[in-house]
Amino acid sequence: MKTNTERAKEQLTLTPEIEFTLERDGFIGAMYQPERDEYSGKAMVMFGGSDGIYNLTKLVAEQYVKRGMTVLALAYWNEPGLPDGFEKVPVESVEKAALWLRGQGFEKVGLWGISMGAELALLAGSLLPDLISCVTAVCPTNVCGQGFVKKKGVQSLECSAFSWRGKDLPWARLKFSRTAILRDSLRERSVCLRSCYEDAVLHAPEQAQIKVEDIGGPLLLLYPERDAMWPSELSAEKIRARLKEKNFAYPCRCVGYQFASHMLVPVKSRSAAMFRVERKYPEKCWKSNMDAFEKTLAFWKEVW
């Protein structure tokens, strides 16, 4: 039986202009340029989530490239030489990719991330306001979470999921429980980690909350109205409230979808079948995925 990585690789249709390596460039990535550039002077660094499937990131990137955006697909974990879990994953990989793009003459560099990648995008945007000028966070969280590894389920670690300049970023403790995850997943008939994250999302200490108000450009949040994987809709509400309280200087657009899952991407993946809403309403979920895709493209053109 083929793995998700193998299936994603089969669907790839574009050849990268450049492929980056840790040894030569300090990060792992693939640069794609469109036949017709619809976003002159702009480039997007794109990365995935805790599935760790780099080829899936490339597949999503291809969809945006085909619509005229220059994209650098980035692997920040789960590749040779990178962390094999969310244990102090360095945000510097995003910085290095963005600096490379700026060095090539791109005046504006943005970030697109989903799930744990959305957490990374928000963190990197807040830490690099002079380098990053737009963030798109799909299924976001409002906090920097506790580190974890996927070994015999999910095992928490006494550290941050992400690091900066060699030090743990302040983190919120999560409540990983095999019993609770199994109970909730059976009840939801979906992979469900909501109970692990809800307390952190709602009550994280100030130091662990992502300083989204420091992001140096417009922010787009996309999420299901009921996210089984983790409470991204609650996170979006907390982010929006924080931005209002802090008088955020840039536009922030939030778009929720009734029929959508944690796989809110413009590619069809078998992983979507993990979620009940995808199995029950596949056509409506796909419509939401494509609407999010179009709204993202429009946001980049009209607001950024």
Question: Which residues lie closer than 8 Å to 282 by C-beta, 6 or more apart?
Answer: none
pLDDT per position as a tens digit, 128-142: 999 999 999 999 999
pLDDT of amino acid 71: 98
When mean pLDDT is compared across 65-74, 154-163, 292-301, the lowest value belongs to 154-163
Q: How far, in Å, CA of 227 to CA of 275, rounded? A: 9
C-alpha atoms less than 13 angstroms from C-alpha of 62 in its C-beta half-sphere: 15
- Residue 6's pLDDT is what? 54
Reference 42, options 301, 290, 292; nearest CA is 301
Q: Does the structure show a pLDDT above 90 at 114?
A: yes
Q: At 147, give phi and psi (nearest 5°).
A: -70, 155
pTM for the model: 0.94
Residue 109 phi, psi (nearest 5): -125, 125
Average pLDDT, the chain: 93
Across the strands, what pairs with 222? Answer: 138, 255
Q: Reduced to 3 states, what is the DSSP secondary structure of residue 269?
A: coil
In the sheet with 162-164, reading across from the earlier edge strand, the strands are 89-90, 162-164, 167-168
pLDDT (mean) for 197-209: 95
* Integer Rg of the chain from CA: 18
pLDDT score, position 28: 98
Distance of CA 70 to the CA centre of its chain: 18
Q: What is the pLDDT of residue 178?
A: 78
Please check the confidence at residue 80 and state whether its pLDDT lies above 90.
yes
With beta carbons less than 8 A apart as the criterion, state whether 95 and 162 touch: no
Instruction: Summarize the confidence of residues 68-92 as an average pLDDT.
Output: 97
Give the pLDDT mean for 135-151: 95
**Alpha-carbon span 277 to 288, nearest angstrom:** 12
Place of tokens 């490339």: 58
Q: Of 288 and 180, which is predicted with more confidence?
A: 288
1 pLDDT tier (thresholds 50, 70, 90)? very low
Topology (CATH level 3) of domain 4-302 = Rossmann fold (3.40.50)
Domain range annotation of the chain: 4-302
Structure token pair of residue 258: 């009734």
The token duo for 197 is: 């994250």
For residue 82, what are its two tokens?
Answer: 């990178």
State both tokens at 233: 């809709």
Quick one: pLDDT at residue 8? 56
Half-sphere exposure of 227 (CA within 13 A, CB side): 27
Q: pLDDT tens-digit profile of 238-268?
A: 999 999 999 999 999 999 999 999 999 999 9
Give the pLDDT band (50/70/90) at residue 187.
confident
Average pLDDT over residues 55-83: 97
